Structure 1
Amino acid sequence: MKLVRFGAKGAEKPGIVAADGSIRDLSGLVPDFAGDGLTPAALDRIRALDPLSLPEAPQGVRLGSCIARTGNFIAVGLNYADHAAESGLPVPKEPVLFNKAPNCLAGPDDDVVLPPGATKGDWEVELAIVIGKTAYRIEEKDAVAHIAGYAVCNDLSEREWQTEGTGQWVKGKAAPGFGPLGPWLVTPDEVGDVQALDMFLDLNGKRVQKGSTRTMIFSAAFCVAYISKFMQLDPGDVITTGTPPGVGLGMKPPLYLKVGDTMHLGIEKLGEQRQTVVAYQG
């Protein structure tokens, strides 16, 4: 299934993409895609429906983040060997973890707002995992049973705040809107082999990132199991799993986002995002 949330910001409704590509309104049957709305039982109830029997959403309607909220937004850093190399850092022996703020969730095509004082904004196309079943100290072989689905994430960053000064990554990753998620939440049965998906990001029409989940150092399932050793993952929690090379920080000289820039990014089977960078209005 491809699950979506559509409508004006703050008033999104849950929906499903039907076989004909139309978005169908689930709001009469499902409160929203968050918490218990993402459990295996909840998804099985949706799976039993005929999407074409549901009301159709308006054509061209805005898409919001594919989940309504998250308790934890966890990111895995340096999870592609070639990205670690362009960052001038060694390949990690175990996943590097940091947090993004839960309220950095945004729609896939919403404008990206550069925070006041930000001078080194950067992009990262990433595979994101959404948890559907509570996971604590699980084994890698059991991880997929705890996943509600996968989505495209743009793990936006402010590199000065991330790496300079005290160098705390969370400072550069947590601004509002720095975690566009969607367009869809795609269930594992529809994705198939999540470790064989091509991905890309274009900046102002030029391809800057091109890669594949094949080259992830730590697989999606491994990341879920590994993180569950240290914390309990609950339905609706998000794990974004790292990016291939081609980020602005790794260019020579570095290239950072400026007002008016556009980003177009996507992952095979998971859809695409399009964003424009705008100034903070206060």
Structure 2
Amino acid sequence: MSTERRRGHVAGLPTWDRCAVMGVVNVTPDSFSDGGRWFDTTAAVKHGLHLVTEGADLVDVGGESTRPGASRVDETEELKRVIPVVRGLASEGVTVSVDTMRASVAEQALAAGAALVNDVSGGLADPAMISAVAAAGAPFVVMHWRGFLEGGNVRGTYADVVSEVVDELRARVDAVLAGGVSPDRIVVDPGLGFSKDSEHDLALLAHLDRLGGLGRPLLVAASRKRFLGHVLAGPEGAPPPARERDAATAAVSALAAHQGAWAVRVHEVRATADAVRVARAVEGAQ
């Protein structure tokens, strides 16, 4: 099967002839790489529009940090952070994804113009999420998740990380389908860095074809994550700061695109936008 066919299409979203680029807008004070930079609504909307000019096809707006050790914000605060930014970007014609684990936030974001719900818990954190997404007819990203990371990297033990992530994601997809979400609106995400160590993340990236076997478009979110810091540091060095991992992120984006990923989620868009276009050009030359 060609890479383009494996990539798939998500109903309700635009179609791209290559791996799509999802830019990140964290409307939070405590995200791991850019917390506080876009905390003001005006600044967040401006940043989202800048990401589009840099080559983002979608913009993912989140109001709650999911880094290890982060505490949850309450529903009112999350809504206050997210909804004005979603509305502002959608009004400018941006394809917006909302990054939330709460059904109420997903519902209000969709009403404000969001086109996609990106739930890092895959519908596990809020029992109302799947039915809310199904009722709205929205596309839904189902990520591999083993629980909140407030206590650290929880339950990161695997006998065979690729097989276990594939099996657990398949079970979540089945639950989402049973909850009424249309099969052509489901995206899967291996959840790099969530209850996974560096060797787990690298193994999953090396076997994205196995995740493709789930028959769903694949989102890869590797941007600036810890495993890249470990790779760049080498055996003796200290990991570089998160914002110094963008070249490595672009490398992963090219690899993911070459293996048929539907989209990559990144903080710094320009290098990844270039990387996925090169990957597409190479595919076209085969």
Structure 1 and Structure 2 fold alike (TM over 0.5) = no
The normalised TM-score by structure 2 is 0.27
Name the one with the larger helix percent: 2
Where relative contact order (Cα < 8 A, 6+ residues apart) is larger, the structure is: 1
The normalised TM-score by structure 1 is 0.28
Name the one with the larger strand percent: 1
